[in-house]
Amino acid sequence: MTYRAMMGEFIIYYRGKIVGGIYDDRLLVKPTKSAISYMSTVTYEIPCENAKEMLLVEEVDNKDFLTGLFDVMYDELPTPKPKKKK
């Protein structure tokens, strides 16, 4: 898992794909079908103005839960577009 700071928030990558981010001290992930099924409580929140709803992850201290969540989401996440060479 890697992080990248962006506009004061953090984007979270898992195995090269964006799974979500940290917004105002909240861990939010993309609302994939598998993530919704995996989570026991589903709460939607908006990360910032004019953004799409994401899922709030409350079990941020549970490494096994987070790894399982990111694993089930992985196949549904889009592959990043290659960066253009300058």
Size of the chain in residues: 86
pLDDT at 60: 94
pLDDT at 48: 85
pLDDT at 1: 60
pLDDT at 6: 54
pLDDT at 3: 54
Q: Extract the residue ranges of the chain whose pLDDT is less than 70.
A: 1-8
Residue-wise DSSP of 4-25: EEETTEEEEEETTEEEEEEETT
- Specify the pTM: 0.84
